[in-house]
Amino acid sequence: MVSYFVNNQVIAENLYSDDCQKKLSICLETNGFSFTVINADKKMLAFGDIVCNFPNTLSQIISLIKQIFSDLRVDFVVMDEVELIVMSNKYTWIPGHLFEASHAREYFNLVTPLEVRELVCHDYSEKIQAYSVFAYADTIISAFKVAIPGIKIRSQQSKMVESSLLDRSKSKSVIYVYVSKKSLDVCVFSNKNFVLSNSYVHETTDDIVYYLLLIERQLNLNSENVEVHISGDIDRKAFTYMEKFFNKLFLYSGNDSVSFSADEMYKIPLYKYSLFLG
């Protein structure tokens, strides 16, 4: 069995109670995965960051993930919903009234070429009444669907749009940035409307600053009336540096309605889990 390290992991005592629905969200990274468990009342029951070297085969990866959850006493059986959040840089948005599942692969003809072994999935956002259509390795999707029957496949773009940031843009422009190891996803909202979603490859904090300033210029946004909310893989040094370029820069902590099941849960660096809380 491959060894792993658990960072910031807390499991609440009432995780196994039967009096509420529970949703497990999993997000794969290149060096492990993160997860949360929340209930229908938006109360967080468990969370954790898992750092490991994944094995070479998918069956071994799935076995490792199941073993880690078993060690942490997070049981799939007691979950009413399980979702896998896919980090994909191949995606597009289709208005709900124009979307047809049978043509999902064709939507990429003018966007980006797809590999033969990439599966096209779709995820509906009620907030903007549109589908996030995204591509991911079909072997990974298939393996998770077999290993965890009923698992839902979500895209990070749809999770971002469904956040409370859409409501914050009533009198201002809001840029939400989710930073991962080598890429950043950006959503822009203005006048309570969804304006833009895009992904960029980054190496340094300067790259992040460059793309955000480029978006401001291309969309002709008034920098004095723009809020930038950032979450994900961001540290204090990078955040402090970015404050030099943006007057209103905030660490985004996810859904405002999320509460905690125990006092120790307040230790959570919520900005790292924003995609899980919608």
What's the CATH number where 126 sits?
Answer: 3.30.420.250
- On whether both 158 and 170 belong to a single domain, the answer is no
- Give residue 153's domain range: 1-162
- Residue 277 placed within a domain: no
Higher pLDDT, 179 or 267: 179
The reply to whether 278 falls in a domain is no
Of 108-112, 145-149, 156-160, 262-266, least confident by mean pLDDT is: 262-266
pLDDT per residue as tens digits for the range 10-51: 777 667 766 678 899 999 887 788 899 988 888 888 888 888
Contact in structure between 38 and 22 (CB atoms under 8 Å): yes
Q: What percent of the chain stands above pLDDT 70? A: 96
State whether 230 and 169 are in the same domain.
yes
Let me know: does 270 contact 21? Beta carbons within 8 Å: no
Whether residue 4 is found in the same domain as residue 109: yes
Give the number of other Cβ atoms within 10 Å of residue 34's Cβ.
21
Q: In what order do the strands lie in the sheet with 91-95?
A: 91-95, 130-137, 118-125
Burial class (CB in 10 A: 0-12, 13-18, 19+), 220: exposed
Residue count of the chain, please give it: 278
On whether the CB atoms of residues 197 and 176 are closer than 8 A, the answer is no
CB 11 within 8 A of CB 35: no
Total domains in the chain come to 2
Is the pLDDT reported for residue 83 higher than 90?
yes
Question: Each residue of 192-203: pLDDT tens digit?
Answer: 899 999 999 999
- Residue tagged 């995780």 (tokens): 15
Q: How many CB atoms lie within 10 A of CB 238?
A: 17
- Note the pLDDT of residue 221: 92
- Out of 162, 179, 201, a domain closes at 162
